[in-house]
């Protein structure tokens, strides 16, 4: 999170998530899922990418715009993403 300007309480919370994630990977413990939500432009994607890079994890970013065109196949495709997530490092 270096170079990112955040409210101090948010910076502390995100720092704890990053430390916890790194420790979980190092100890080969099971991960808890993380859902980031909020209005556009608040840094969710930037934080997710940085967290994945610093923790040595893979990540996927999915938006409503990715799902909507899939129509009735959307559920199947989302299940494929979850299956990938269960087998990724």
Specify the pLDDT at position 89.
62
Rounded to whole angstroms, what are the CA distances from 41 to 9, 10, 46, 77?
Answer: 19, 15, 10, 26
Q: How far apart are the first and last CA of the chain?
A: 22
DSSP conformational letter for 56: T
Tens digit of each residue's pLDDT, the chain (89 residues): 667 777 888 888 888 888 888 888 888 888 777 788 888 888 888 888 888 887 778 888 888 888 889 888 988 988 998 888 888 76
Whole-number pLDDT of residue 49: 85
Predicted pLDDT at 54: 77
Cα–Cα distance measured from residue 88 to residue 14, given in angstroms and rounded to the nearest whole number: 23
Measured over the CA atoms of residue 75, residue 76, residue 78 and residue 79, the dihedral's sign is: positive
């Amino acid at each position: 999170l270096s170079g990112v300007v955040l409210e101090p309480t948010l910076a502390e919370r995100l720092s704890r998530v990053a430390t916890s994630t790194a420790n979980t990977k190092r100890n080969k413990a099971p991960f808890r899922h993380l859902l980031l939500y909020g209005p556009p432009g608040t840094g969710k994607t930037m934080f997710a990418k940085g967290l994945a890079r610093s923790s040595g994890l893979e990540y996927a970013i999915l938006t409503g715009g990715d799902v909507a065109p899939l129509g009735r196949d959307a559920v199947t495709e989302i299940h494929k993403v979850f299956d990938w997530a269960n087998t990724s490092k």
